[in-house]
């Protein structure tokens, strides 16, 4: 799905519908970035937002939360790299179909480069 400069709070319900349509079941938990502004629960899906841990949290709870959000944070450099190195930041195709084509070409170039490096 392609969105044009909309905030995460507006696009997340549509993304959850797409995931449910593709997999057949809704996700139990969703990890978002710290800038997310929106609901903390959509349907049965719990939305996890990274924040500073509470003093009452145990070491296990802090570590579990930190590890969960580290996986999400690992995606951000890849997105930035695709915007700069694989022309995801500039789009010369027209309309939403052009946006979809541009994304597919950028992802294909990224994956081809990874396979060539292997």
pLDDT in tens, 93-108: 788 788 888 888 888 8
3 and 52 co-located in one domain: yes
Confidence check: pLDDT of 73 > 90: no
Number of domains in the chain: 2
The pLDDT value given to residue 1 = 63
Residues spanned by the domain of 20: 1-56
State the sign of the Cα–Cα–Cα–Cα dihedral 109, 111, 115, 118. positive
Instruction: Flag whether 18 is in a domain.
Output: yes
The pLDDT value given to residue 4 = 67
Instruction: Flag whether 62 is in a domain.
Output: no
Helices 75-85 and 59-73: angle between axes, nearest 10 degrees: 10
The pLDDT value given to residue 2 = 64
State mean pLDDT over 7-27: 87
State mean pLDDT over 24-41: 86
């Amino acid at each position: 799905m392609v969105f044009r400069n909309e905030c995460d709070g507006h696009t997340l319900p549509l993304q959850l519908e797409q995931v449910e349509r593709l997999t057949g079941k809704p996700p139990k938990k969703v990890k978002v970035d710290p800038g997310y502004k929106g609901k903390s629960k959509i349907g049965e899906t719990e939305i996890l937002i990274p924040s500073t841990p509470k003093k009452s949290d145990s070491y296990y709870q802090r570590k579990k939360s930190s590890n969960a959000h580290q996986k999400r944070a690992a995606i951000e450099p890849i997105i930035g790299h695709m915007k700069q190195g694989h022309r995801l930041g500039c789009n010369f195709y027209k309309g939403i179909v052009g946006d979809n084509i541009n994304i597919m070409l950028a992802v294909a170039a990224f994956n081809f480069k990874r396979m060539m490096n292997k």
